[in-house]
Amino acid sequence: MQNLEHEYRLEMSGISKSFGVVSVLKNVNLKVKPGEIHALLGENGAGKSTLIKILSGVHQKDNGTVLLNGKEINPKNTHDGQVLGISVVFQELSLVNDLSVAENIYLHKLGSSQFWMNWKEITQNAQELIDSLGFKIDASATVRNLSIVQKQVVEIAKALSEDTKVLVLDEPTTVFDPTDTKKLLDNLFKLRDKGISIIYISHHLEEVFKIADTITVLRDGVDTGSVSTKETNTDDVIKMMIGRELKDLYPTRTAKIGANPVFEVKNLTAKDNLVHDVSFDVKPGEVLGIAGLGGSGRTEMAKLIFGVDKKKSGTLLLEGKEIKTSSPVEAVSHKIGFVSEDRKEEGVFLPMSIRKNISVTNFNFISNPFGFLKRDKEQKNVTELIEKLNIKTPSSEIEVKNLSGGNQQKVALAKWLSIDSKVIIIDEPTRGVDVGAKIEIYNLINEVAEKGVGVIVISSDMPEIMGIADRIQVMHTGTIYGELPKEKFSEENILRYAIGKPLKELSI
């Protein structure tokens, strides 16, 4: 096989894919050489994950061809993909929590070859594989008991347990600290030198420029070209990613920020998770950004405030008065809103209409004391919000599952606007949303703040959070590590706080 050298190990050309009416990929090309680290860049929702899922067999393409070593392949499921030598480490971990590390690594082989499993040998092989990566994990440990970093390593080991020709890593280092990241990257260099083609998806431009040989950029489902890393720079790549200068993306902040905080959190500590001693405030009209790495407790903190998780201690003050939020019901009654990062699972009701989605928080207004609905009033309220938020839909009766991610997110926001919330916490407002909708959501956040709402935005997307926030609180290991005023906004500063280091130079 190997002597039939093709210039490219993998050639994906003219790939198109749509889900329902939403076109996710349009005529995308991706060509990867043997022994190359090829970065696949693009914003959230640009279609990177879909492209990879087509490559690995999770999704089937509508159009286009995929050549592996010059031969057309058509994997129907991930097993087909693995047999062909395509291994993917997905962003969402796909390990079985109740099995051991070794069992997970060899899960795809269980039951395929022989009847009796040689556990001793399997565990030993798994241990050797992990050791060769330079991480310390016991191969016989149950996956449930591992840290998220260790789980990620097991995922990578699992991908390498096959005779891998193409290894895909989808944002592998988001949960890693710098030492682990370096270890992982060293491993990637070793694998590359062995001739494995690596497709590396990351938002981390710095990292990409350190390791990648070639960069392919996707934007809104179209590839905007491939360049050699040596012949380009960060600015050009960003331009390729967003198709415009960065500054157009974010609205000019016009909201007047009030003097006294509308909402204060003091020494908030969780009963059952890592969140502890969190204190901050948000003023009316202000957009407060919460940054931090994955696993730093941002979402947990939001859910703690909103009454989803149990508090151990701490006080919440709304307009200066102490409030209790021991359940979301109570939080909502104090007019606190929460838009979850997990839109489909926790944010919207996919099989229900836009109207019913928006009304779900607002029954006091649209029903009589016996609970009978006033349809006219409901319809009027919903129609107003659909227009105001520019939700693109032919009617309020369309089921939310038929909307694009951006419009779904607007529906999730709309239900909090319909009850005039005083504080709205938005977790990852633009995850999986295309650029056009992103701008609309940013404008929307701006407008909401303008009405005097205190807006708390949690985001992993650093340009985003710097673009829309007035102030940023950075979380590290479950608490707020530091606050950045607008003049100190920079990716570097956020990162330093996020990994628990002070800022480089203390000016002033």
Partner 1 sequence: MTQTIKQQLSSPGGWLQFLIKYNTIFIFVLLVIFSAFISDVFFTSVNLSNLLKQVSGIGIISIGMLIVILTGGIDLSVGSMVALLAVTFAILVNLVILPLAILGTIVIGFALGSIAGYLVAYQKMAPFIATLALMTIARGLGFIYSNGSPIIFETKGGLFMSNFANNSTLGIPNIAIVFFIIVIGAMVMLKHNVFGRLVIAIGSNEEASRLSGIKVNKYKFLVYAISGALAATAAIIVASRTNLGSPNMGVAWELDAIAAVVIGGASLNGGKGTAINTLMGVLILGLISNILNLLNVPSYPQQVVKGGIIVFAVLLQRFENK
Residue ranges that bind partner 1, judged by CB under 8 A:
306, 308, 328-329, 331-333, 338, 340, 345-352, 356, 359-361, 363, 367, 370-373, 375, 415
- Say how far apart CA 41 and CA 439 lie, in whole Å: 20
- Identity of the residue, 129 or 400, whose beta carbon is nearer to partner 1 in the bound complex: 400
Smallest gap, in angstroms, from Cβ of residue 397 to partner 1? 10
Q: Tell me the two tokens of residue 437.
A: 């909708």
Query: How far does the chain reach from its first CA to its final CA, in angstroms?
Result: 64
- Identity of the residue, 65 or 333, whose beta carbon is nearer to partner 1 in the bound complex: 333
Please, what's the b/e burial string for 77-114 (b: 16 or more CB within 10 A of its CB; e: otherwise)? ebeebbebbbbbbbbeeebeeebbbbbbbbebeeeeee
- Identity of the residue, 111 or 371, whose beta carbon is nearer to partner 1 in the bound complex: 371
- Identity of the residue, 190 or 401, whose beta carbon is nearer to partner 1 in the bound complex: 401
Beta bridge partners of 37: 198
- Say how far apart CA 139 and CA 100 lie, in whole Å: 7
Smallest gap, in angstroms, from Cβ of residue 326 to partner 1? 13
- Identity of the residue, 67 or 419, whose beta carbon is nearer to partner 1 in the bound complex: 419
- Say how far apart CA 276 and CA 297 lie, in whole Å: 9
Smallest gap, in angstroms, from Cβ of residue 77 to partner 1? 21
Q: Tell me the two tokens of residue 297.
A: 């407790």
Smallest gap, in angstroms, from Cβ of residue 449 to partner 1? 22
Smallest gap, in angstroms, from Cβ of residue 208 to partner 1? 35
Please enumerate in sequence order all residues whose Cβ is within 8 A of that of 39, keeping only pairs 6 or more positions apart, or say none. 199, 200, 201, 202, 208, 211, 212, 214, 215, 216, 229
Beta bridge partners of 166: 86, 197
Smallest gap, in angstroms, from Cβ of residue 364 to partner 1? 9
- Identity of the residue, 198 or 403, whose beta carbon is nearer to partner 1 in the bound complex: 403
- Identity of the residue, 337 or 454, whose beta carbon is nearer to partner 1 in the bound complex: 337
Smallest gap, in angstroms, from Cβ of residue 475 to partner 1? 21
DSSP 442-484: HHHHHHHHHTT-EEEEE-S-HHHHHHH-SEEEEEETTEEEEEE
Q: Is 327 helix (H, G, I), strand (E, B) or coil?
A: coil
